[in-house]
Structure 1
């Protein structure tokens, strides 16, 4: 499993990664002040260019 965070993941970069490794990149979003992650893509909800769903017990 490969996670992406820290800045927007370019779709072409993600596609190249998947072509070379055969692995999927899961994107996440976090805030230093909040926690390591606030949202997370999952195996069932993973779309390039989206940062996933809000983690449980998290408010934005």
Structure 2
């Protein structure tokens, strides 16, 4: 009986760890900083060289 409880707790912790790692990977893909960076790149592409240099 005690082995079943230990196995259940260990499997629960392993599942929790896998889910948390998956959540961190999803958050890395949908990071808002990358979206802002892409928007800044698009804005900079439309600026001419004469406007940048003083």
TM-score clears 0.5: no
Question: Counting strand residues as a fraction of each chain, which structure ranks higher?
Answer: 1
User: Using CA pairs below 8 Å that are at least 6 residues apart, which structure has the higher relative contact order?
Assistant: 1
Structure ranking higher in helix proportion: 2
Give the TM-score normalised by structure 1: 0.22
